[in-house]
Structure 1
Amino acid sequence: MQQNLPDRWHSASRVLHWSSAALIAGLFASGWWMTGLSYYDSWYHRAPWWHKSFGLTLTALLILRIAARLAFARPPALGHRHARRAAHVGHLLLYLLLCAVLVAGYLISTAEGRGVSVFGLFEFPALVAPFRDQATLAGTMHWYAAWSLIVAGIGHALLALKHHFIDRDATLTRMLGRRA
């Protein structure tokens, strides 16, 4: 993979960004939908299997995103010093919330000491010995972290639109792959 270009993000960075965004939105929607399923619903057992598989896929994408972010130069941040600092803090918050959601989901899934099937291809092992009330505590954390992530993600999207339509800078176009 080559470095990010000074006027836009590298295509791999863009693919990881937009794939992650789509998975986050889909996982949030499916998680919310699953809370309304009754025990006798045909999706009651199937939906969590898919949710967990896509959640572990998102975990892999997150690891790739962090590695890419550490390994490759980023296009310079735009805006005033305070705006650049706020953007840095906002991105860090998004990463921390995403990590919290994923760790909590993993703890829910492994609360009985069993690994998690990933699309039936392999099993990701339970790496933590179960602890008292693990599923309940992790479930609470998962719920609040997921909602916080969605609110922060909506803020992130709205600020990108503000940069594009009000500030008329290249923040959004660089993530869309167009030249600044």
Structure 2
Amino acid sequence: MLKNTTNSYGWIAIVIHWLSALMVIGLFALGYWMLTLGYYDSWYRLGPWWHKSFGITLLALTVIRLLWKFFNATPKPLGTHFDQVGARVGHALIYALLLVTMVSGYLISTADGRGISVFDWFEIPALITSIPQQEDIAGAVHWYTALALVILAAGHALAALKHHFVNKDSTLTRMLVAKRNQSNND
């Protein structure tokens, strides 16, 4: 039940999905709140430290998630043809927005040549620092892609609720509880 089957997501995919969702919401809320902080606020330096640390963690989790998705079965999509196409496009956009948001965050944080401390455990080095107006351009990209990501994630949640309450299929429940495939004893 750790691995996906053709009918259900496994516990690994489920945990990664919900951890990613919580982190996206938390990072967006923290990032938005950081915009209101004054120089003398105690969170002026602490907020970005947490934001960067969890951002790098989310990047690692997203890479693991993409590898897991590539090397694992995917449950058959449910719903109409329109639902299935919408799900494929929506998921692709979510992954693209996740990656662009995190790469632009990296470019903001390393524009001055300093690396990113991740929970003071290790540092991600600054590899790209020579883009003209790097911090400003990456900052604009980071804000708009993060905003688009949160809006798309809300649409994703609404689509899952539509599947559950209108279509009355198991799209939502199979991302909540791993079930054994009758033909596969994962």
Fold similarity call, TM over 0.5? yes
**What does 1:132-171 correspond to in 2, within 5 Å?**
132-171=132-171
Structure 1 position 19, deviation (Å): 0.3
Identify which of structures 1 and 2 has the higher relative contact order when contacts are C-alpha pairs closer than 8 Å and 6+ apart.
Answer: 2
- What do the CA deviations read for 1:121-151 (whole angstroms, capped 9, x no partner)? 0001112133211000000000100100000
Structure 2 distance, partners of 1:110, 1:130, is 10
Q: Which residue of 1 aligns with 2:128?
A: 128
Structure 2 distance, partners of 1:154, 1:177, is 21
Q: Which residue of 2 aligns with 1:26?
A: 26
Q: Which residue of 1 aligns with 2:53?
A: 53
Q: TM-score under structure 1 normalisation?
A: 0.96
- What do the CA deviations read for 1:83-119 (whole angstroms, capped 9, x no partner)? 2111100100000111111011000000011110000
User: RMSD between aligned alpha carbons?
Assistant: 1.4
Q: Which residue of 2 aligns with 1:111?
A: 111
> Any idea what SS the aligned residue of 1:113 has?
coil
Structure 1 distance, partners of 2:46, 2:2, is 40
Q: Which residue of 1 aligns with 2:42?
A: 42
Runs of 4+ aligned residues of structure 1 deviating over 4 Å after TM superposition are none
Q: Does 1:174 align with 2:174?
A: yes
Q: TM-score under structure 2 normalisation?
A: 0.93
Q: Which amino acid aligns with 1:114?
A: R
5+ residue gaps, structure 2, are 182-186
> Any idea what SS the aligned residue of 2:44 has?
coil
Q: Which residue of 2 aligns with 1:64?
A: 64
Q: Which amino acid aligns with 2:104?
A: A
**Could you tell me whether the CA contact under 8 Å between 2:98 and 2:149 is conserved in 1?**
yes
